[in-house]
A and B are shown apart, each in its own frame.
Chain A
Amino acid sequence: EIVLTQSPTTMTASPGEKVTITCRASSSVSYMHWYQQKPGASPKPWIYETSKLASGVPDRFSGSGSGTSYSLTINNMEAEDAATYYCQQWNYPNTFGAGTKLELK
């Protein structure tokens, strides 16, 4: 099973700040997907195939990476971006990271 380790576990960012969340895989994967979840809500697809933005996702978000190291970046943090972000890989069995909780400073 591929274990996904996200860092940091929690972080705070001010409006306008650049944010980077990383996801490290215990073995190489071809792509990484990211989901955003707000309290009391279901996860939403956010970035798929490492760098493609899901429908409705603002273009201040971007994704990158390859092999065992992937990242999600927010340029110019906004209040609505405060949420928990999970990375996910598709190799069997599909696995998710433990999440990065992003809070607004």
Chain B
Amino acid sequence: QVQLKESGPGLVQPSETLSLTCTVSGFSLTSYSVSWVRQPSGKGPEWMGRMWYDGDTAYNSALKSRLSISRDTSKNQVFLKMNSLQTDDTGTYYCTRVLATEASYYFDYWGQGVMVTVSS
């Protein structure tokens, strides 16, 4: 079955770099795109960026200068790196699978999320 699992440090120092890994199973990264979405506690989700199935990437312009998404298809992993972290980057980070329908796209599977706290 389709699964996504995020992993990475729960605590990051201000101004440091966050590195997260999304390990997927049950589908191929060359057939489906994967997005990163984050959610501050008690707030709505925010789309961060996407690794398209063909290897192309797309980033939220609000984060583009700090964000990088890459992948290793042999390991079924998608990576997120974001630098210059500040306290308002605290939240739960999810990786999600993107399903293309006839008319649109949406996030059809979500990982369990990883809570990231930015604090000294």
Contact = CB atoms under 8 A, between A and B. Distances in A.
B26 interface: no
B114 to A, nearest CB: 11
Nearest to B110: A42
Q: Which of B62, B107, B110, B112 has the most CB of A within 10 A?
A: B107
Contacts of A35: 45, 107
B110 A96 contact: no
Given A93-B61, A98-B43, A42 B112 contact: yes
Chain A, interface residues (CB within 8 Å), range = 20 to 34
Q: Is the interface of A mostly helix, strand, loop or mixed?
A: loop
A1 B66 CA distance: 19
A95 B110 CA distance: 16
B107 A45 contact: yes
Contacts, number: 58
B104 A48 contact: yes
B103 A96 contact: no
A56 to B, nearest CB: 12
B91 interface: no
A45 B37 CA distance: 14
Contacts of A99: 43-44
A45 B112 contact: no
Contacts of B74: none
B47 A95 contact: yes
A90 B43 contact: no
Contacts of B58: 92
Contact of B104 (A1, A43, A49): A49
A33 interface: yes
B10 to A, nearest CB: 16
Interface string B68-99: 00000000000000000000000000100000
Interface string A26-60: 00001101010000001111001100001000000
Interface of B: 35, 43-47, 58, 60-62, 94, 101, 103-108, 110-113
